[in-house]
Structures are given as C-alpha cells and as structure tokens.
Chain A
Amino acid sequence: MKEDNPGGLYEFPNSEGCLSDKELEDLALTSPDGHEIPIYNSTRGRVPRRKIIVDKNQPPCGVLVDLSNIQELFHPDDIIDLSDDFSDSYDSHLINIDAYPLAFLRTAGNLQADGIPPCFYPSLTEINNNVRKHHPIANLNHPLADSDSEMGGDGGSHHGSANDYDSDLDIDDDDTTPSHLQAVKPIFSQFYNHITHRVASQAGKHDSQQGTVTVAISGAFANTEKDKTTASKKLEYCDISLPSERFHDRISSLDVECPTACRAEFVYSIDLRALKDPSGRYVRSFSFRSFYLIQFPCFPPPYPSQIHM
C-alpha cells in the first residue's frame, strides 16, 4: 500500500477507512454546517485544501513602502562616497523617519522624514550650482579690490559692490567662489499611497479618525437641545453607513479608477539670498529642474504636478 500511495494515506476518524492524497480532492470541502473539513498529516500539520486563484481582471494592489529596512533608503552604506562629491547637499544630521504601517501589516505603509534620500543629492547639487550666486574672489592687487567686499559693499561705498565687479571686470569662473548659502535645501519628504487623497479630503478628516460611532452612542447622555440635535444627526449618519463601510466605499468605488500608485513628495526651502537672480529665467529654470527631481525615480503616471515650496 505504501508503494502504491507514495503521497501517503489519510485515515478517517474511528478507523472508518482511508484515502490517498489523490482521493482527497474528491472529498467534500465543507461539512453540512459550512465549516471546512480539516485534514492533518502525520506531523499534525494541517493540509491546505484551498488553492489560490488569481483574477487577472482585478486591478493591481496599491503600492506601499517597505518599512522593514527603510533606514537604508535614507542612510545607505555608501553615503560617505556621496558626501565627498556632493558636500553642499549632504547633511550629516540623522534623518528622523516616522513610519505608518497600514492594515496591521507592520512592514508596509507610509512614511515621513525630515530629509530626502541621498540618491537625490547629485541632482540637488547640480541645481544649486546652476542657480546659486557666485562671489568674486578678493584680488589684493586690483585697484578696486577689498578683502571685505565679498558680499558687496554699501551703496556709495568706495569698496564697490559685487555687481560692479561683474560689469567692470572680466571675471573668470576661476575668480569666483560659490556662496556659503545653500539655495535649495531639502527639509522634508513623505511617501504614501495615492489612495490617501481619496479617503480623506485633508489631514485629520479620515472616517475612522472622527470617533463617530462613539459620539453617536454617547449622545444618549445629551442634556441640551443642541447636543441632542447633534446626537440625532450622528445616529442617522451611522444608521445609513458606519465609518468602516464608508471607508470601504471610498476605496472600492467603481465610478472612478482607484489610484494605486506610491506617491513621493519632497519639500525644499529656497534661500532667495543665495540665488543669482531672484526673478526671471533662473527661477523658471529651477522650477523645471525641481519637477525633474520629483519625477526621479520613475513612478507610474500621473506624475505629481505640484511642487511644495
């Protein structure tokens, strides 16, 4: 019997007979009361009787951030190499990360950080180099030179201003030094699933954040007419649909395609004092390059259109 049934034999309770592993497929899945008939192997492990069927017509699951090793995104091992070349953008402070695991998954969800991943530093440095003001290096042999005129002198001062240097002197790039001010500085970033915008119109307005059911039931203790009216409205609200049901309707609406993309938003501070020209074509150039930053790495369209400043 063992040779004929290499997959093993499964014995009924009370020794009513036995079945081979192939005959198990013909056994009823559930009992008359609807519960699955369990089957155990010799090691007391339960034999799975249901198979997963993937419906390819269903939309893909939403994208969440893997939180299990999220520190690596902001503090990679090779950050030392980055810091040498992109010292302007590299900030040695430890980036604080707030993780928000969703659906009890623990290792997947959204996150916020008070910095951006170092992989964006090269682009940020390039932007800074293009838009940042450069100051002429003081030349003691020049008749208009003065060691204290790095930032430009007062109006009417015999020291002259930086603009005078630009217009009166033929200054090469080698004669300038970049401003110590950082024109574009990253200050914040967040990664979240785009569906967040559907379930809440603004922060703190999520259906499950309001405590609606508690408020509705506690309205039974209302004493004033105003509170009784409020309680009545809350009860009607819950009678129609509980917050969990409303949340389900929002994310599973068939009218509008449910967004599933992971969205990244970076926030920068711009120091206008460090810009070559606070108005005009350099600002437009910066806006274009910042949009390029947000697009990298590639996320599924639509790309985020707003730039948070």
Chain B
Amino acid sequence: MYDWVSYPITLLIENIFDLERENIKNKVAPCPFRLELLACLERLLCFCHTGNTKAFATSAMGPLNLSRSAVADSFPIMSKGFKQGNITLAMRHGLEIDPWKWPTTKNRYPAITSKRSQVLTYSEQHFMVCKTLLFCISQEVHLFTCHACG
C-alpha cells in the first residue's frame, strides 16, 4: 500500500536523484532549486510513512500545496513549479524549475527546506554554500527580468 500511495513521490525523487547524480559525475553543480524540491519530496514521503506533520516545512511546501493537499485531501499535489507545463513534460526535459515560481519568504528570499539535513550531516558552513548559490540564482533571474523589462 505504501508503494502505491507514494509512487508519484518516489518516482520524482528517483528522477531528480538520477539527474543530479549524472551532473555530479560530470562535475556539474546540482541545481539548488531542484535540491530544495528534493528536500520537500523527502519530507512529504516522511509524512506518508510516519504521519507526523512536523516533517512539513511550510515555508516552501505550503505555497507548493504539497503539505496542504496531503493533510486536507489525502492526495498530495504540486503547484506548477517547472518551466514546462506539467510534471510529465518536465521529467522529459530535465526537471527545470522556474525560479520565479519558487516560494519566497516574507523577506522575498527563496524558501529553504534542506537546511536541517545539511546542518546535521555536514555543518552550518556547508549549508551556507548552497544557500548562497540559491540566493544568487534568484537575484540573477530577478535582475535579468528587470533589465529585460527596461
């Protein structure tokens, strides 16, 4: 039963892992947004297995509707976050996340869900590297868009 209900989540996790594993082999840095999405999906899977809502990081999972749908409707869904129109197309085209669609905090910084796992396994300094990269990409997109708009 666990396999059935969590299949979409585990499938997406596997796809993201395979994609980033290939990037790591080719000495390419993982996409920070995909990393955060991966953390969201792992938290969702944790809720599926344990039933504990403390697994939710609502700053990101709330706007993405991952947490709300799982609790309210017992069927997790995900708001559009990829550059492609749906998850099926996104899986065929490299799961590119649109930075503009990624949830932000009140301070307009990208919401983060991977902090705890990184800090517990590595260190705070290690996490700051990923966080800085995430913020830089977000700022670049914002500045590029502002420049394009004139």
Residues on A close to B: CB < 8 A? 61, 99-106, 109-110, 199, 206-223, 227, 230-231, 234-235, 238-239, 242-244, 247-248, 251
A223 to B116, CA, bound (A): 18
Contact of A104 with B30 in the complex, beta carbons under 8 Å = no
Residues on B close to A: CB < 8 A? 1-3, 5-6, 9-10, 13-14, 16-17, 20-21, 23-24, 29-30, 35, 38-39, 42-43, 45-46, 48-52, 55, 70-71, 74-76, 114, 116-118, 121-123, 125-127, 129-130, 133
A227-B123, A235-B24, A242-B17 given; 7 more Cβ-contact pairs under 8 Å: A104-B70, A106-B74, A207-B49, A211-B117, A218-B35, A222-B122, A227-B122
Contact of B42 with A211 in the complex, beta carbons under 8 Å = yes
Contact of A218 with B50 in the complex, beta carbons under 8 Å = no
A220 to B29, CA, bound (A): 7
A213 to B13, CA, bound (A): 8
A105 to B30, CA, bound (A): 34
Contact of B126 with A223 in the complex, beta carbons under 8 Å = yes
Q: Which residues of B are found within 8 Å of A251, using beta-carbon distances?
A: 2
Centre residue among A207, A209, A213 by max chain B CB count within 10 A: A213
A105 to B70, CA, bound (A): 9
A211 to B40, CA, bound (A): 10
Q: How far is the CB of B5 from chain A (nearest CB, A)?
A: 5
Contact of B42 with A206 in the complex, beta carbons under 8 Å = no
Contact of B46 with A206 in the complex, beta carbons under 8 Å = yes
Q: Which residues of B are found within 8 Å of A220, using beta-carbon distances?
A: 20, 23-24, 29-30
A221 to B118, CA, bound (A): 10
A99 to B71, CA, bound (A): 12
Q: Which residues of A are found within 8 Å of B50, using beta-carbon distances?
A: 100, 102, 206, 208-209
A106 to B74, CA, bound (A): 6
Q: Which residues of B are found within 8 Å of A238, using beta-carbon distances?
A: 17, 21
A306 to B56, CA, bound (A): 33
Contact of B123 with A235 in the complex, beta carbons under 8 Å = no
Q: Which residues of A are found within 8 Å of B14, using beta-carbon distances?
A: 242
Contact of B46 with A208 in the complex, beta carbons under 8 Å = yes
Contact of A217 with B24 in the complex, beta carbons under 8 Å = yes
Contact of A104 with B48 in the complex, beta carbons under 8 Å = yes
> Of A61, A105, A199, A219, which one neighbours B49 at CB under 8 angstroms?
A199
